[in-house]
Amino acid sequence: MPKFYLTTPLYYANARPHVGSAYTTLVCDTLARYRRMCGDDVAFLTGTDEHGENIERAAARLGISPAELVDRNCQMFRALWQQLGIAYTHFVRTTEARHVHTVQTMLRRARQRGYVYKGVYRGRYCIHDNLYVSDSEEPSDCPTCGRPAELMSEENYFFRLSAFQQPLLEHYERHPEFIQPAFRRNEVIRFVSDGLKDISISRRSIHWGIPWPDDPEHVFYVWYDALSGYLTGIGFAESNGQGGEFARYWPADVHMIGKEILRFHAVYWPAFLMAAELPLPRTIFAHGWLLFEQQKMSKSKGNVAYCEPIIELLGSDALRYYLLREVVFGQDGNFSHEALVTRYNSDLANDLGNLASRTLTMLARYCAGQVPEPGPAGPAEAELAATAAASLQAYRQAFDQFAFSRGLEAIWQLVTHANQYLVETQPWTLAGDPASQPRLASVLYAAAEALRILAVLLAPVLPRATSRLWQLLGQSGHPEQIRLETLSWGGLRPGTRTGPAEPLFPRVEKSQILERMAAMEDQIRQNTGAPAAPATPTASGPSRITIDDFARVDMRVGEIRAAEPVPGTDRLLRLQVDIGSEMRQVVAGIAGSYRPEELIGRRVVVVVNLEPRRLRGVESNGMIVAATRPDGSPVLCTFTEDVPLGARLK
Ligand code: MSP
């Protein structure tokens, strides 16, 4: 049996997963199920990336330990994967003991071959994306999130990435399938051709990480750590890279990732592997972003949609179908609740759901709940059978090329044809005419057979609904047990008992569902933003908080360096505030009381550890403290004596 090893990225366990984080996992789950139906022995790995500065900071913000935070968040990921029906076979957490072994072994191997040395790192680093933004000390913004990168300088261990420029270019040349889609491959080739600098792979300023062998003051750079998780997850440590599951599944067949992490996967990762003399993955596929409100859906930007309301109101299959059908895989695509509900009603409830319920109703009513023995097949049946064969072929071709939306379009050719077939053959009219019984049997057999084939084709995308449909068609087991190369027209056995018609996808009232989804989203947002420990209510008067609760609010002295109105509002100003360690962009509702120019140079109090959010499309990364007059106008809090920038208020 050929093997197929597929991975999702290992998700940062610093926040709750959202639709964007679920996207890659849903795609991989679909692909894993599809490959199994092609006869492969599939290993499907997902997991969580649990080290690094942003985890340390997120934990500090909540007043808990990093270990507690990652336990909690990892649990949230697992729970969501379960709700979404993700059938992964392997799960890895980068805080597991076996992973420490992998990372240290990788390092030792690279060191033995002379690819690691000690040096001084000076440069700009984005703590949000764990990205070395520039090796110069000049201020610069993170290319991924756009926030100012922090300045840092420390003694580090370096990886000789520069030694791999040629070997990497040769590999890209010899293996055109290594980086996909092709336009991404070209981007990477251009980047590497411009020259590669050595990279720092240890940190001294961070404690929450894997200790460096023989020098425990350093921990591993998170990307060296996280990427090696692809080895740990299939048992590298257990077999020391020699046998067992690891030898069976490595190298990975596909690392599925979002485009923002392509450089780590297509440049660093193969170099780390070559340095350790391990074979390289076959394909790295970088897909586009799900956009929400015109921007990448992302927790740090505050524009996320959550999966849970969708699962509860429409079911996990609906989300899977929508994402795979609506977004051309590889390109960016918009996510909208409205489009989701529209697709659900039109494609799932109407097209597929109606085909199933009409067919099952007629089997129950006219054939006593049994698949009839078909009479002779006419041209209409031959055409339907031909469409089924063509759909199967086009679907396989598309899925083999990761063109999921095209694959679903091919399947919908069969759904549409089967519905038309029923309209044209009118079995409900045939049923009233005793002489037409053989014809009726042929028609209902053909409709049921089309449904059976659809259940198989759609199983990777709609595992729950197709499993139910399979039962209703009287089939045993699960449609995913069918091998695609054995699937052909005529496999349905006459005499099989069929079940009652039931709506696989009940139609929903759009505006009502959208309202309910929005209310549920708000609820999640409130819970997510709420402090870890609730304020203790007292018998009389307002509730009190403890000093620890107060300590969780990080307020700093800042100075306003720039101010301008936010277009389209008369209340908001976009401020650039220097808080000593960095410049923060804050949007404040003070335009009614202050003119931008009178704010420049003013010292203010900034809450610096609030979750970023977007106001009128502009990111606000903190809050300026102000009191309110009786007429509602704000008065900024300020200092009358000298106080250094960045000083903490307590
Ligand atoms: N921890 C690293 C990956 C290490 S892999 C060894 C990381 N984690 S992440 O939590 O930020 O998640 C990254 C992945 O989530 C992206 O590469 C992408 O696959 C998925 N997505 C997160 N937001 C997304 C969108 N808005 N749209 C599409 N995919 C998104 O990077």
pLDDT digits (tens, 9 = 90+) for 305-364: 999 999 999 999 999 999 999 999 999 999 999 999 999 999 999 999 999 999 999 999
Are 104 and 245 found together in one domain? yes
Residue 534 — pLDDT band, cuts 50, 70, 90?
A: very low
CATH number at residue 435: 1.10.730.10
Residue 201 has pLDDT above 50, yes or no: yes
Position 244 in a domain: yes
For ligand 1, is residue 258 a contact (CB within 6 Å)? yes
**312 located within any domain:** no
What is the 286 CA–ligand 1 centroid distance (Å)? 11
Name the residue with the closest Cα to ligand 1, atom 24. 20
CA distance 408 to 347: 11
The answer to whether residue 194 scores a pLDDT higher than 90 is yes
The mean pLDDT value for 373-390 works out to 95
Predicted local distance difference test score (pLDDT) of residue 154: 83
In a domain, 528, yes or no: no
pLDDT band at 221 (very low <50, low <70, confident <90, very high): very high
Q: What is the 3-state secondary structure (H, E, C) of 309-377?
A: HHHHHHCHHHHHHHHHHHCCCCCCEECCHHHHHHHHHHHHHHHHHHHHHHHHHHHHHHCCCECCCCCCC
From 8, 19, 21, give the residue whose CB has the most ligand 1 atoms within 8 Å, as the site to mutate. 21
Ligand 1: centre distance to CA 23 (Å): 9
Ligand 1 mean position, distance from CA 342 (Å): 27
pLDDT band for 288, please (50, 70, 90 cuts): very high
Cβ–ligand 1 contact at 261 (below 6 Å): yes
Show the domain range for 263. Answer: 3-287
- For residue 141, the 8-state DSSP code is B
Of the candidates 431, 455, 486, which is a domain's last residue? Answer: 486
Tell whether 97 and 26 lie within a shared domain.
Answer: yes
* pLDDT mean across residues, the chain: 92
- Tens digits of residue pLDDT in 614-647: 777 788 899 999 887 766 678 999 888 888 899 9
Taking residues 244-263, report their average pLDDT.
96
pLDDT of residue 86: 97
Assess whether 575 and 431 both reside in one domain: no
What ligand 1 atom has the least distance to the C-alpha of 258? Answer: 17
Ligand 1 contacts CB of residue 24 (under 6 A): yes
Q: Which stretch, 27-41, 142-156, 536-550, has highest mean pLDDT?
A: 27-41
Same-domain pairing of 59 and 196: yes
Give yes or no: residues 197 and 116 share one domain: yes
**Domain finish residue from 435, 460, 486:** 486
CATH number of the domain to which 610 belongs: 2.40.50.140
The residues that bridge with 628 in the sheet, in sequence order, are 634
**Ligand 1 in reach of 227 Cβ (< 6 A):** yes
**pLDDT > 70 in the chain, percent:** 96
Residues 71 and 170 in one domain: yes
Residue nearest to atom 9 of ligand 1 (CA): 11
Torsion, Cα of 327, 333, 335, 340 (10° steps) = -30
In which band, very low, low, confident or very high, does the pLDDT at 60 lie, cut at 50, 70 and 90?
A: confident
If asked whether residues 269 and 367 sit together in one domain, one would say: no
Instruction: Please name the amino acid found at residue 486.
Output: T
Whole-number pLDDT of residue 182: 96
Ligand 1 pocket residue status of 19, Cβ below 6 Å: no
What is the whole-number distance in angstroms between the Cα of residue 9 and the centre of ligand 1?
6
Residue 358 lies in a domain: yes
CA distance 557 to 636: 12
Same domain for 278 and 137?
yes
Cα–Cα distance for residue pair 434/188, rounded to 1 Å: 69
Report yes or no on 48 lying in a domain.
yes
User: What would the two tokens of residue 57 be?
Assistant: 């900071």
CA nearest neighbour of 87 among 10, 14, 34: 34
| CA 17 – ligand 1 centroid, Å | 10
Indicate whether 302 belongs to any domain: no
The answer on pLDDT for 276 being more than 90 is: yes
Residues 6+ apart with CB under 8 A from 361: 501
Task: Judge whether 645 lies within some domain.
Answer: no
**Nearest atom (ligand 1) to Cα of 259:** 17
Which residue among 246, 272, 287 closes a domain? Answer: 287
442 in contact with ligand 1, CB cutoff 6 A: no
Q: Is the CB of 22 under 6 A from ligand 1?
A: no
116 shares a domain with 54: yes
Give the mutation target among 24, 263, 287, 300 for probing the ligand 1 site: most ligand atoms within 8 A of CB.
24
Average pLDDT of 286-297? Answer: 89
Q: What are phi and psi of 525, to 5 degrees?
A: -60, -45
Of 207, 109, 210, give the one whose Cα is nearest residue 159: 109
pTM for the whole structure:
0.81
What is the secondary structure of 270-308 as a DSSP string? Answer: HHHHHHTT-PPPSEEEEE-PEEETTEE--GGGT----SH
74 lines ligand 1 (CB under 6 A): no
On whether both 143 and 245 belong to a single domain, the answer is: yes
Residue nearest to atom 6 of ligand 1 (CA): 227
CATH code (residue 193)? 3.40.50.620
Q: How many domains does the chain fold into?
A: 3
Question: Token pair for residue 536?
Answer: 């203790």
345 and 203 within one domain: no
* Distance of alpha carbon 599 from alpha carbon 239, whole angstroms: 63
Q: Is residue 112 part of a domain?
A: yes
Residue ID of nearest Cα to ligand 1 atom 25? 20
Q: Is there a single domain that holds both residue 265 and residue 365?
A: no
pLDDT of res. 529: 59
